[in-house]
Amino acid sequence: MFKLLGEYLLLLYDIFKRPDKGPVFRRQLLVEFVGLGVDSIGIVAIISVFTGAIVAIQTAYNIDSPLIPLTMVGFTTRQMMILEFSPTIISLILAGKVGSRIASEIGTMRVTEQIDALRVMGVNPANYLILPKITASMLFNPVLIIFSIVVGIWGGWFACLVTGLVTSADFIAGLRGWFEPFTVGYAMIKTVVFAFIIASVSGFLGYNVDGGSVEVGKASTKAVVVSSILIIFFDLILTQLLLV
């Protein structure tokens, strides 16, 4: 455990060195923006719409007291999407999609000697391969999460409209009420931390693959499992630190 942690920290030390060539790093960054970020928009949109819709319907279903106004449905949907569903659930989804991609891509490069080729050319492979992924994830995931929040709330509103459980006016009134801007900041802080975890842990596990295709598969699975556990763990810690 401590050995792994030490190896992880040593890899981070190599990753956060100055890139060998600025223009090459910027080009890699753009590639990763597309591969890790833009390519995830579809799945984020689908999951967010349905999550928002489900939260809205379940909230409406559970309000059986006439003392609780139906505006609570819009309020609850917004709060749930901002506080937990978008930053945490979408990050868990991204741990599966992006984490496995990073681990398998770098792991395959390891077993096919591409990383050795980089090293003997005089390139710092950890920096060249992993830094753009971490940077792209930390910059683009907040965009994805804001997108998820917006789309999720829209999903909730649309579900209320279609089912007729809550009127559009009630939903929007709840949506606009008791808003604390810090909740968005809290969501963004969580997102950036989770993005770092996903990219760095998956990169670490891929980078240290030893063997063949079976080990690449194992590293890919391990990247998803470890990233997911760390996301939940840090979710608890950050919530305690920032909200309580």
Smallest distance, another protein to C-beta of residue 14, A: 9
Query: Under the criterion CB under 8 A, does residue 120 sit at the interface with another protein?
Result: yes
Contact of 89 with 46, CB cutoff 8 Å? no
Q: How far apart are CA 205 and CA 226, in angstroms?
A: 10
Binding of another protein by 114 (CB under 8 A): yes
Tell which one of 7, 39, 116, 180 touches another protein (CB under 8 A).
116
User: For residue 240, with 0-12 CB atoms within 10 Å meaning exposed, 13-18 middle and 19 or more buried, which class applies?
Assistant: exposed
Nearest CA-CA partner of 107 in 36, 208, 226, 7: 208
Q: Is 7 in the site for another protein (CB under 8 A)?
A: no
Six token digits for residue 143: 């965009």
Verify binding: residue 26, another protein, rule CB under 8 A: no
Token reading at 34: 């597309």
Please give the Cα distance from 193 to 213 (Å, whole number). 30
List Cβ neighbours of 86 (8 Å cut-off, separation of 6 or more). Answer: 48, 145, 148, 149, 152, 187
Smallest distance from another protein to CB 119, Å: 7
100 part of the interface to another protein, by CB under 8 A? no
Residue for token pair 């449905």? 73
Residue 23 beta carbon to another protein: minimum distance, rounded to whole angstroms: 8
Q: Does 20 bind another protein (CB under 8 A)?
A: yes
232 binds another protein (CB under 8 A): no
- Taking CB under 8 A as the criterion, the residue among 30, 68, 121, 232 binding another protein is 121
Q: Segment contacting another protein (CB under 8 A): 53-61, 68-76, 106-114, 136-144? A: 106-114
Using the rule CB under 8 A, which residue among 51, 76, 79, 108 binds another protein?
108
**Chain contacts with another protein (rule: CB under 8 A):** 20-21, 23-24, 31, 108-109, 112-114, 116-117, 119-123
